[in-house]
Structure 1
Amino acid sequence: MKILIIEDEKALRETLVSSLQKEQYVVEVADTILVAEEKIALYDYDCILLDIMLPDGSGLDLLEKLKQLGKSENVIIISAKNALDDKLKGLELGADDYLTKPFHIAELNARIKAVLRRKNLDGKNSIDIGNVVFDITERTLTVASQNIHLNRKEFDILNYFLLNKNRLITKTALAEYVWGDQVDQADNFDFIYYQIKNLRKKLQDAQADIAIESVYGVGYKLVAL
């Protein structure tokens, strides 16, 4: 899962990054509206944490742009301002939730997981296809009731494929989703090939009712068998 934190307060931003990375999320940050707009134009995020008071403007203005792009439903507003008008305007603009500073990290984690369930899983915790049960919250994969061990990247890759079943996934899109900003440092995408190779073998050995197919020269596609 990929999260964007739009927050100009450095100490809080670093605390959020550290905490969310421990939850196995891919985390990217922006400290201004301009930087946030650049990232949102390039990447898709499962959840966006948005501060209202930013150095170059109001986060609500950015939220309005996100609504026009159809990307506001996965936004959680985080702000020191507890004014009812700001809350109502944020929710009217499509924000999923509103959290007032200071807040407990545990509460933020719970809000994020709720957003992800509503956005990707229609309120459920898992994706079920045939004999496959992929639990987002517990980060587990079972095939025919047998637990299949996945490393962190294998889990994130399979999660992305399951959310985009039967769609062509390019290597670039997959790399950006799973590795975030770090992918810019890569010379090639060989690391994706090896992760998918291992993931495929685990699915085949377990006789899963899903498979990852290669689309020559472009990327991959997950299909039900």
Structure 2
Amino acid sequence: MKILLAEDDSKLSKMLVYLLKKEMHSVDAVDNGNDAIEYIKLTDYDVVLLDWMMPQKSGIDVCKYIRSHDNNCGILLLTAKDTLDDKILGLDSGADDYIVKPFEILELLARIRAIKRRQPKAFVSDIIDLNNGLSINKTTFTAAYKNSDLSLTKREYQLLELLIENKNITMPRAQIIDYIWNTEDSISSNALDALIKLLRKKLTDAGSSNIIKTIHGIGYRIED
């Protein structure tokens, strides 16, 4: 799923991004309500996670903005406010669900899945096809070339998904490393080189050769 996290607590945000990516979700993160609205204008998210008390615009303000623009993405409010009146206000503002801090990550993930089940028509297609026959399925975390499944590791799939979602855009090496390994501090650029090599070999063996382009001194991209 494509998820937007709007949370101004940097430690909590970083932890949630790491855990959500481990669950194979694609995550954007912002720390204030204005940026959340700008991201929502540009991207079709499956689920938006909103902290209630953010700078500039609150989670409630962002929630009302989303619904006033006929956006049916799933909305989950994250907040320390736990009175009945607060919960009613959040839900009446357009949120699909409400979780009180501190919360367990397993409960958060379950609530995200429940939102998706309740709103199947609100989500963008989870299958992305390229013109050369390569495709990914973001629901099953699988890839195929001309209808033949590719056997990819978790990180190989994450790399392929990132490049396909940003096709025709050069992804900087540092951004790729941060997306795939995130908080693992000891990762070197050699790890990315090795991962690119492994993914390229599997694509070549399947018949889709030379699709990942090296942009020297910058990073990589997939052209379509």
Query: Which category describes the TM-score, using the shorter chain as reference length?
Result: 0.5 to 0.7
Tell me the equivalent position of 1:32.
none
- Give, in angstroms, the shift of residue 114 of structure 1: 9.1
Q: Residue 4 of structure 1: CA displacement?
A: 4.0
2:103 is matched with: none
Unaligned 5+ segments in structure 2 are 101-106
| 1:183-222 → structure 2 map (5 Å cutoff) | 185-186=185-186, 188-208=188-208, 211-222=211-222
Partner of 2:115: 111
Name the TM-score, length of structure 2 as normaliser.
0.63
Counterpart residue number, 2:88: 83
TM-score of the superposition, structure 1-length normalised? 0.63
CA distance in 2, matches of 1:187, 1:137: 28
In the TM superposition, 1:92-171 aligns within 5 A as 97-101=95-99, 105-111=109-115, 123-129=124-130, 130-171=132-173
CA change 1:139–1:152 in 2 (3 A) is same
Cα distance per residue 1:3-49 (max 9 Å; x no partner): 647498x9x99xx78984663347899xxxxx935xx89xx997652
Partner SS for 1:153: helix
What is the aligned-residue identity percentage?
25
Partner of 2:222: helix, strand, or coil?
strand
- Does the 8 Å CA contact 1:131/1:209 hold for their aligned counterparts? no
CA-atom RMSD, angstroms?
4.6
Aligned residues: 194
Equivalent pair of 1:2/1:177 in contact (CA under 8 Å): no
| Counterpart contact for 1:210–1:222, Cα < 8 Å | no
What one-letter code is carried by the residue in structure 1 that aligns with 2:96? Y
Deviations 1:72-119 (A, max 9, x none): 9978332553224x4465x5xxxxx5312477743412436999x96x
How far apart in 2 are the matches of 1:113 and 1:200?
35
Which residues of structure 1 form unaligned runs of 5+? 30-34, 92-96
| Alignment check: 8 A CA contact 1:6 1:48 kept | no
C-alpha distance in structure 2 between counterparts of 1:5 and 1:26, whole Å: 14
Give the match's secondary structure for 2:96. Answer: strand
